[in-house]
Chains A and B, each alone.
Chain A
Amino acid sequence: MRNLLRWETALVFLLIVVALTGQVSTDGSFLSGGNLFYLGLDIGEIALIALPLTLVIVAGEIDLSVASVLGLSSALIGWLWNAGWSLETILPTVIVVGALCGAVNGLLVTRLGLPSLAVTIGTLALYRGLALVVLGDTAVADFPSSYTEFGTTPLPGTNIPYPILLAAVLAVLFGIALHASSFGRSVYAIGANEEGARFSGIRVKRIKLILFVLAGAVAAIAGIVYTFRFSSARADNGVGLELAVVAAVLLGGVSIFGGKGSLFGVLAGVLLLGGLRNLLILQDTSTEVLTIVTGLLLLVSVLAPSITRRVGTLRKAHT
């Protein structure tokens, strides 16, 4: 627990460093209200999906299909809109479909006992494929501005984008679920020792299923946000986004082996990752470099705990 706190302190420190460097190297435009608004927009979907994914990873599982669920939900919005449905019916439908996608993952993992890594690599391809079947490579863009302006304007009188408000509300709910509820306790116990959790009467399979369903549903919500933000429903929306989300969660101090991590750390991880990407974009860095940076951060965040542990044992051995 103390290690974790130290890691989160380090994250906050890193955030300040990134903010200050950004501020200096961009002559003050990095922390300007306008840029912060775009930064917020940029990390909206990542922040949303990172919330349920944190719980999934703490429980010792992984869901790599989230970005494909995002794409599928975007494609469905376009298809149903073209078919003449109203957005009031489309949006709940899309969230239900996302939850179903999550349920498929969860059932394959809990009922058939398959590893979630393999299952969700499979559904990563499957859901993206379905998205392409639904909408092909066309784009649907004629959404009413009453919806799309949620993606392009801030909350009145502030620089806070609507998706960030949504993420903040969900973050509070997920934070309570993980850190203050008996459900969260069970999630940690499952991740740290699944057999021990089962022997304590915790309904391991049911809890895992719920987590996958939540991941699917929130990924669908992120798909809605993405679609309106770009006013464009496309099957290839959010390709590769799972990489950024997993990187942010691990950067936030969640152990890839389960059982450890906090939602606060993950939010700091999302901000750090988003801040770095934004800073690089401000300096006209190419997207290839952005992907490389994301990949490096992912590696660093996976390696960091084992490196600190090794340094710790070395130090112990020398005393």
Chain B
Amino acid sequence: MDGPPVVALDEVSKSFGAVRALSGVSLRLLPGEAHALLGENGAGKSTLIKTLAGVHRPDAGQVLVDGSAQRFSGPADALAAGIAIIYQEPTLFGDLTVAENVFMGRQPLGFGRRIDVAEMNSRTSELFARLGVKLDPARPARGLSIADQQLVEIAKALSFDARVIVMDEPTAALSAHEVQRLFGVVKALRDQNAAVLFVSHRLDEVFALCQRATVLRDGEFVWSGELSGETPDSLVRRMVGRELSQLFPKEDTTAGDVLLSVRRLTREGVFTDVSFDVRAGEIVALSGLVGAGRSEVARAVFGIDRPDGGSVHVRGKKLKYGSPTAAMAAGIGFVPEDRRQQGLVMDASIERNTALASLGRLSTFGLLRRSSERALAQDWAVKLRLKFAKLSDPVGVLSGGNQQKVVLAKWLARKPSVLIVDEPTRGIDVGTKAEVHRLLSELAGQGVAVLMISSELPEVLGMADRVLVMHEGRLVEELSRADATEERVAMAAAGQVAR
């Protein structure tokens, strides 16, 4: 972890039109270190990564590899210089094998220029062995978990002799177990003297994994140094430039009537016999590993998927199976897991997205009242402190946190009595995260029943009045706020319940 940096950015600036994404940012990556890149959404992390990847060319400043200035004309140049990027959700060729994905376009050739499959598989196995993981090189990539797909990408990076591996929020979609395995892989990479640049919003992971960190705020360099002298609070202060009194401000409320009641809900092969109630003023967290069936339960409650058995009642009234329209009419709002695919129409404007779930009440005889639509969007943009230029801008230009606010606005505009939020703060910055938590707490205070799915234990423990834990499609544990500890939730999620 010493010696000159493998890769460095020196006073790099980059603007897009009038927006200054990076201004005079420096970064030094040392061989054998895991380095955290921190900052709120919109701080310039993505631009920095894309500059390293050769996607963006800096307006000023330099990218240095082994001390010499580089001019990347594209991602291929960056890769040739030893810089590989592992994106949050890798894009593999599903019908090709793992090994074919690793050696895409560079397959080892045998006699008569035929692809030497055996050689390719054994070289892939070697790469996985260096990472300390087991994965069958001959299986097709389709059906691999996101965690395994990332490993394939990392193996591919190694096959290019990459010495700098940038991981852009690699843990966002991983379960706790998979995160541990990824950490092992990062350590293996460090032992081989590679530098890892780790981008994550989860500070506990940063402390567990990284030695040094660089913090950006609003496109500017704020701080870089050893993590040993830092605390999560001190890092958050550097990122947001102000004190955050409390991250999870759920206030105590007295639970009222049962608003949402789910009984023996079953969808074959996905989840079985799920029963629970959510009362007015309560935040109930649905916890568990990714793939335990939490989101699937939410989808069935909202009517996106049709359950095979069981029932959903809102205020004592039974909902029709498989009808989001019926769920909405009964007062359910649903902020889905995948903001880009399910929550928003990315090309459409902020106002159109805000109005999308309220079209009926914004219309007279089917004709849309444009002024009401705009007023609705304006109203909620102010209430949720949305950062935007024009309401007619597409939501795609907003940062992740602000996009999430638009999704929330879309549902809050309907004044739901039951709000289901699936990973409400995934991939959004610390400041907005606190705002979302405050908002959920306020809603509960106003008598809304909130069902929250979250993979982040601190969020679950800080926000929830009750914690329900799912394991392999079944509800295995219910803990009150007082009983819910990180340990008990994690044990239940892993299927270890003392019965």
In the complex the two chains form, what is the Cα distance from A183 to B365 in whole Å?
11
A210 to chain B, nearest CB (A): 12
Chain A stretch 162-204: residues in CB contact (< 8 A) with chain B? 176, 180-186, 188-189, 192-193, 195-203
Which chain A positions have C-beta within 8 A of B343? 196, 199
Q: Does A40 contact B (CB under 8 A)?
A: no
Which chain A positions have C-beta within 8 A of B360? 182
Q: A182-B360, A185-B359, A192-B347 are in contact. Are A201 and B342 (CB under 8 A)?
A: no
Contact A199 B336 (CB under 8 A): yes
Chain B stretch 312-337: residues in CB contact (< 8 A) with chain A? 324-325, 327-328, 334, 336
Q: Does B117 contact A (CB under 8 A)?
A: no
Contact B304 A200 (CB under 8 A): no
Q: A180-B368, A181-B368, A201-B328 are in contact. Are A193 and B344 (CB under 8 A)?
A: yes
In the complex the two chains form, what is the Cα distance from A193 to B352 in whole Å?
13
In the complex the two chains form, what is the Cα distance from A202 to B324 in whole Å?
8
Chain B stretch 207-259: residues in CB contact (< 8 A) with chain A? none
B103 to chain A, nearest CB (A): 30
Chain B stretch 345-368: residues in CB contact (< 8 A) with chain A? 345-349, 352, 355-357, 359-360, 362-363, 366-368
A257 to chain B, nearest CB (A): 11
A258 to chain B, nearest CB (A): 10
Q: Among B349, B356, B366, which residue has its beta carbon within 8 angstroms of that of A200?
A: B356
Interface size counted on chain A using CB atoms at 8 A: 24
Q: Does A223 contact B (CB under 8 A)?
A: no
Contact B345 A192 (CB under 8 A): yes
Contact A199 B345 (CB under 8 A): no
Q: Does B68 contact A (CB under 8 A)?
A: no
Q: Does B341 contact A (CB under 8 A)?
A: yes
Q: Does B35 contact A (CB under 8 A)?
A: no
Closest residue of chain B to A190 (Cβ to Cβ) is B345
Contact B345 A193 (CB under 8 A): yes
Tell me what chain A mostly uses at the interface: helix, strand, loop, or mixed. helix
Which chain B positions have C-beta within 8 A of A198? 304, 324
Contact A192 B366 (CB under 8 A): no
Q: A185-B356, A193-B345, A193-B346 are in contact. Are A201 and B363 (CB under 8 A)?
A: no
Closest residue of chain A to B338 (Cβ to Cβ) is A195
Closest residue of chain B to A181 (Cβ to Cβ) is B366
B312 to chain A, nearest CB (A): 15
Which chain A positions have C-beta within 8 A of B346? 192-193
Q: Does A275 contact B (CB under 8 A)?
A: no
Contact B348 A182 (CB under 8 A): no
In the complex the two chains form, what is the Cα distance from A202 to B325 in whole Å?
7
Q: Does A102 contact B (CB under 8 A)?
A: no
Residue of B328, B341, B349 contacting most chain A CB atoms (<10 Å): B341
Residue of B304, B325, B359, B367 contacting most chain A CB atoms (<10 Å): B359
B29 to chain A, nearest CB (A): 26
Q: Among B342, B366, B368, B392, which residue has its beta carbon within 8 angstroms of that of A199?
A: B342
Contact B367 A176 (CB under 8 A): yes
Q: Does B466 contact A (CB under 8 A)?
A: no
Which chain A positions have C-beta within 8 A of B304? 198-199
Q: Among B327, B336, B362, which residue has its beta carbon within 8 angstroms of that of A182?
A: B362
Q: Does B410 contact A (CB under 8 A)?
A: yes
Q: A185-B355, A185-B359 are in contact. Are A203 and B325 (CB under 8 A)?
A: yes
In the complex the two chains form, what is the Cα distance from A193 to B395 in whole Å?
13
In the complex the two chains form, what is the Cα distance from A8 to B336 in whole Å?
36
Contact B366 A182 (CB under 8 A): yes
In the complex the two chains form, what is the Cα distance from A1 to B352 in whole Å?
13
Closest residue of chain B to A184 (Cβ to Cβ) is B368
In the complex the two chains form, what is the Cα distance from A62 to B367 in whole Å?
25
In the complex the two chains form, what is the Cα distance from A195 to B334 in whole Å?
13
Which chain A positions have C-beta within 8 A of B368? 180-182, 184-185
Which chain A positions have C-beta within 8 A of B367? 176, 180-182
Which chain B positions have C-beta within 8 A of A181? 363, 366-368
Which chain A positions have C-beta within 8 A of B336? 199
In the complex the two chains form, what is the Cα distance from A176 to B325 in whole Å?
24
In the complex the two chains form, what is the Cα distance from A182 to B348 in whole Å?
15
Contact A199 B324 (CB under 8 A): yes
Q: A182-B366, A186-B359, A195-B341 are in contact. Are A201 and B324 (CB under 8 A)?
A: yes
A177 to chain B, nearest CB (A): 8
Contact A183 B345 (CB under 8 A): no
Q: A182-B363, A183-B366, A199-B304 are in contact. Are A259 and B325 (CB under 8 A)?
A: no
Which chain B positions have C-beta within 8 A of A203? 325
A150 to chain B, nearest CB (A): 31
CB-CB nearest 8 A-B residue pairs: A182-B359, A182-B363, A199-B342, A201-B328, A200-B356, A201-B324, A193-B345, A192-B345
Other than the given A199-B334, A202-B359, A260-B347, 16 more pairs (CB < 8 A) read A180-B368, A181-B366, A182-B363, A182-B366, A185-B352, A185-B359, A185-B368, A189-B356, A192-B345, A193-B341, A193-B346, A200-B357, A201-B325, A201-B328, A202-B356, A203-B325
Q: Identify 14 residue pairs between A and B in the complex whose beta-carbon atoms are under 8 Å apart, listed by A's number.
A: A1-B349, A180-B368, A181-B366, A188-B345, A188-B348, A193-B344, A195-B341, A195-B342, A196-B345, A199-B324, A199-B343, A200-B356, A201-B327, A259-B345
